[in-house]
Amino acid sequence: MAESKKTPIRVLISGAAGQIGYSLIPMIASGRALGPDQPISLVLLDIPPCATKLQGVCMEVLDCSFGLLTEVIPSTDAKTAFKGVNLAILVGGFPRKKGMVRADLLKINGGIFSGMGKAIADQAHPNVKVVVVANPANTNCLIAALNADKIPKKNFSALTRLDMNRAKGQVMDKLALATSNDVKNIVIWGNHSKTQYPDVTSAQVKKGSSDWTPIAKVASEEDMKFFTGEFITTVQYRGAAVIKARGLSSACSAANAVGDHIKSLYGGTSEGEIVSMAVWSNGNPYGIADGLYYSFPVTCKGGEWEFAKVPTTAEGQKLMKATEAELLEEKKEALAK
């Protein structure tokens, strides 16, 4: 282990033997997400049928010889795996299968994530941070949080950083920027679904200079038509496009986005930077209903986040309410007895 005076953070990844979990492990264990001097105690959780595969994953983690890793603990028991966990990354969930409707998926995952929430409340550190990746991520996050009665709702978040990264890539490509680091402050509103609203109203870019410039001052009229039309649907349906082309759902890009999400949450956002996370909606400044995990622009510092206030357009507000409506319906279905 690399020498460090810091106390190890205990990080749990559920679904650790799956594609996303497997791809995520190096991003956590290498220090990319939590910092180059932060020791990590890593718990890898999966379901009992994956026990042998999980052992193989642990062998590979050991073979990587990560300098920050103090221990690797495999587990197939969700009731005990969360003991002392500081950061829980919930990747494992029940995937949608042929013939299933959304209500079926919500019901099955509701059972899984209610159990996760109870286990987190019973065993994890009182200030544990929980990042939900498994779809439907926003509502799975809600179910877990509602069942973790001892843990603040603000400690839970769901992943929309993948959508934000996808949007950054589209802007980089459209405006012929050098890299995606030349784009910031794109906002993803709402649900991690086809109703999400990718919004460039507050976006800034660097093109031909070292200064950040509002996108509207750089983009042509045709570009702006793209950003209020095809761009939105491209980001909304990007996951389906990847599945069609690859034959499998996004894994590398999803794991990368989880790493980015955690890096922003713990490492903090830079001055003038906002990022998108699905967070507890209570007290938001945009008129979105309380009691949801809805993607907002936020700033972060030391594991905590705050709402960021950005301008919106009249058309954008309609799209924000449309994705809110879907989340309210998902909540109703998920909580139905």
300: β partners: 305
Alpha-carbon distances of 157 from 33, 230, 268, 286, 333, rounded to whole Å: 16, 28, 15, 18, 20
Q: What is the CA radius of gyration of the chain?
A: 20
Round to whole Å and give the CA distance between 104 and 112.
13
Alpha-carbon distances of 225 from 6, 183, 279, rounded to whole Å: 50, 18, 30
Which of 166, 192, 238, 331 is catalytic? The answer is: 192
- Four-point Cα dihedral 168, 170, 175, 176, nearest 10: 90
Round to whole Å and give the CA distance between 113 and 122.
14
Which residue, 165, 157, 184, 128, is CA-closest to 260?
165
Tell me if residue 115 falls in helix, strand or coil.
helix
Contact 137, 192 (CB under 8 A): yes
Round to whole Å and give the CA distance between 320 and 240.
22
Residue reference for tokens 């972060």? 300
Q: Is 125 a catalytic residue?
A: no
Round to whole Å and give the CA distance between 124 and 148.
10
Alpha-carbon distances of 195 from 43, 234, 239, 296, rounded to whole Å: 34, 12, 13, 14
Positive or negative CA dihedral for 323, 256, 18, 30? negative
What is the side-by-side order of every strand in the sheet holding 275-280? 69-75, 40-45, 9-14, 87-90, 129-132, 156-158, 275-280, 293-301, 304-307
Q: Which residues are catalytic?
A: 192
